[in-house]
Amino acid sequence: MSEDTGFKYSAFTPVLSRKKRKNKTQLERPPLLTLVQRAAQELSKDDWISRCLCLLQDHLATRSSAPSKILCLGLGSPSSSPNSRAQLALLLEICKATAIEHCNVSVYDPVFTEEDDVLFKHLDIRMLAENKASGEGRYPLEAPTILWMPHCDLGLYENVLAANWSRTQLSYIILISNRLGDYVDSTPKRKLETMAPCVLHFADIVESCILPACTAWTTAFNSIAIQSLRDARVCGDCAIGDYQTP
């Protein structure tokens, strides 16, 4: 056995506090905007973004008015989630394809961090503050709007639709989200009539176009579809007016 039991300083690795480890990781990590740009590059593989934007343009071509705003709910935190960064990257590409300026994009998620706030300000995207009037997703729309709501819970979809339950306001909605028909197919109708009646009715009167599978980000965009109200000749006012929101 070796008799050299002395303490060797050169072999010592100090244990950083949790706060210092976090700061060290943040210093080593590329800037958040760079990570979002890298996500966009990965999404461009196999022309995935191009195919998605073509589907969106085809969808918008059938409408009388082009969207002028984007409302993004439930994005998650780009600083904390790779999937959120990929979903933000798609949002920025949608802005380019539709000529919607960043100043006409609003985002809200209660998990946003200070770093996310800095990023949105840099991008000139408006980060909404929580308030009672529009809390829990009850945002009434005043113009044709793309709603980018990736993988939100059923209650959030219900609240957005309930806040816009009229022929005029529903016609404003271009919803890019989980395919609402999946909820109808997998949930008993009686249960939906109680907990999400707007989702139940809306899923029955929309055109839905599912996005292609994304090999680069398999979980960020699964089951996402472009959905909007069908032509008035197919879906008249009675389909909406017969149902009274709570």
pLDDT of residue 23: 53
pLDDT of residue 29: 81
The set of residues, in sequence order, having a beta carbon less than 8 Å from that of 11 and lying 6+ positions away, is none
pLDDT of residue 136: 82
**Interval 200-221 mean pLDDT:** 94
**Interval 172-177 mean pLDDT:** 97
**Interval 179-199 mean pLDDT:** 95
pLDDT band at residue 63 under the 50/70/90 scheme: confident
pLDDT band at residue 84 under the 50/70/90 scheme: very high
Top pLDDT among 126 and 1 is at 126
Residue 243: is its pLDDT beyond 60?
A: no
Determine the Cα–Cα distance for residues 167 and 184; give it in Å rounded to an integer.
Answer: 21
pLDDT of residue 6: 44
**Interval 236-241 mean pLDDT:** 48
pLDDT band at residue 12 under the 50/70/90 scheme: very low
pLDDT tens sequence across 102-157? 999 999 999 999 999 999 999 999 999 875 445 588 999 999 999 999 999 999 99
- Mean pLDDT of the chain, nearest integer: 86
pLDDT band at residue 238 under the 50/70/90 scheme: very low
pLDDT tens sequence across 29-54? 899 999 999 999 999 988 999 999 99
- Edge-to-edge order in the sheet of strand 69-73: 126-127, 105-108, 69-73, 145-149, 173-178, 224-229, 206-210
